[in-house]
Amino acid sequence: MNIPFAIPMIGQEERDAVREVLDGSILVHGPRATIFEQAFAEFTGAPHAVSVSSCTAGMHLIYFAMGYGPGDEVIVPAQTHVATAHAVELTGAKPVFVDSELETGNIDISKIEAAISSRTRAIVVVHYLGVPVDMRQVLAIAKRHNLFVLEDCALSLGAKVDGVHTGLQGDAGVFSFYPVKHITTAEGGMVILRDGELAKQLKLKKAFGVDRTHGERKVPGMYDVITLGFNYRMSEIHAAIGIEQVKKLPTFLTKRAENHQVLSEYLESTDGLRVLPAPMGRLTSCHYCLAIILDDGFASKRAQIMDLLTTQGIGSSVYYPQPVPHMSYYRNKYGYDDTQFPNAARLSRQSIALPVGPHLGSRDMKRIAGGIKKIMEEMTCSMSMS
């Protein structure tokens, strides 16, 4: 594969930083997690940042801290990674799914209110593929119904709404540093928020509910536990990588934007597909990938198209393989069927995610576009003959 969908952009700086941690004696509870939090807060403009072991852990931690449990409901977009729903489900609360807009893949805001009940406690939005949800409208609904708003920012590092970084319009935003994301720490996540009291609770509950950090302990090993909590901390090794990655983030984002623009232009008038828009105005995308949506006539050909791309050395991916409520666990538990969430189902079935990451340049974009165009032309030709 000479054009992989994504590769972690690990340089000598990250290697040196990890070696420095390994050469020392502090692998957890050291200064690096805090330095990474400060750097991330500075980049996003967040008043508070709390490092966690993954985005899933961060979302679960927030719902846990909010005290959600059996009998509560959270509005969740159908078109997302299962983590968005699992984080709700793990508390005993019920995810109530809402279909997507076809145009952007984001939650269909016009359908949120119909899904709200007296049991609803929160709305979680996902900035699908780095294209921000219009938070003004979501916040207006949340205000009317007195709901907490969580932003799943796993794919939206660098994306902004009205000039404000995603994650800061709602009550909290959670990012992922899994290897294919905008920056990586191998595994890892970060919560950003404005509420200092909630940030304090998250710090407590991500570390067993222990009342003092290592630095605050007068006698080593002596502490009290004042609440229930997990071990959702980030290690110094992961944080060391994160510190170096944040420094490179502006360059990564510029490269992604350039690649996306070049590839969009090449693909503009390709028959049989449309390009999912990546706006740069009030809503500013951070170009996680370039998603093409195949016309209905090509829906059954998606796997073949992706295979043909692979044979040309071009990586691609699918976001996401099925709407979450169509996955066996949710289907079996809540009785959802294929007729529900038709827009999310169509996007799951007919989209292909193409690479625009900083590991690639404009020559790669030209090759990807050339590959797609050729495949679509040949397929159109053979379909019209049969």
Ligand X SMILES: Cc1ncc(COP(=O)(O)O)c(C=O)c1O
Q: How far is the CB of 176 from ligand X (least distance, A)?
A: 3
17, containing H or E segment: helix 12-23
Which of 9, 46, 50, 55 touches ligand X (CB under 6 A)? 55
Q: Which stretch binds ligand X (CB under 6 A): 50-58, 194-202, 323-331, 358-366?
A: 50-58
Determine if 81 is a binding residue for ligand X (CB under 6 A).
Answer: yes
Cis amide prior to 320 (ω within 30 degrees): yes
- Min CB(178)–ligand X separation in Å: 4
For residues 148 and 232, which CB has a smaller minimum distance to ligand X in the complex?
232
83 sits near ligand X (criterion: CB under 6 A) = yes
DSSP string, 28-41: SSSSHHHHHHHHHH
Three state DSSP letters for 161-185: ECCEECCCCCCEEEEECCCCCCCCC
Choosing from 66, 78, 155, 345, the residue that interacts with ligand X (CB under 6 A) is 155
Piece of the chain touching ligand X by CB under 6 A; list 79-87, 157-165, 263-271, 365-373: 79-87
Q: Is 351 in the site for ligand X (CB under 6 A)?
A: no
Nearest-angstrom CA–CA distance, 256 and 259: 5
Kindly compute the dihedral angle of the four CA atoms of residues 354, 355, 360, 362, in this order, to the nearest 10 degrees.
Answer: 30
Sign of CA dihedral 358, 360, 366, 368: negative
Integer-rounded Cα radius of gyration of the chain: 22
Selected range binding ligand X among 29-37, 76-84, 250-258, 363-371, rule: CB under 6 A? 76-84
79 binds ligand X (CB under 6 A): no
Annotate 225-278 with DSSP letters as a single string.
B-S---B-PPPHHHHHHHHHHHHHHHHHHHHHHHHHHHHHHHHTT-TTEEEPP-
> Is 44 or 176 the residue whose CB approaches ligand X more closely?
176
Helical (H) or strand (E) element with 293? strand 290-294
Q: Which of residues 171-230 bind ligand X (CB under 6 A)?
A: 176, 178, 189
For ligand X, give the closer residue by CB, 176 or 201: 176
Nearest residue (CB) to ligand X, 178 versus 298:
178
Q: With binding defined as CB under 6 A, does residue 68 bind ligand X? A: no
CB 151 within 8 A of CB 174: yes
Which listed residue (51, 84, 120, 348) binds ligand X by CB under 6 A? 84
Contact between 182 and 205 (Cβ < 8 Å): no
Token pair listed for 87: 């984080």
Total chain residues near ligand X (CB under 6 A): 14
Q: Which of residues 113-152 bind ligand X (CB under 6 A)?
A: 126, 152
Does the footprint of ligand X cover residue 6 (CB under 6 A)?
A: no
Does position 235 bind ligand X by CB under 6 A?
A: no
In angstroms, give the least distance from the CB of 175 to ligand X: 8
Closer to ligand X at the Cβ: 98 or 154? 154
Residues at the site binding ligand X, with contacts judged by CB under 6 A:
54-56, 80-81, 83-84, 126, 152, 154-155, 176, 178, 189
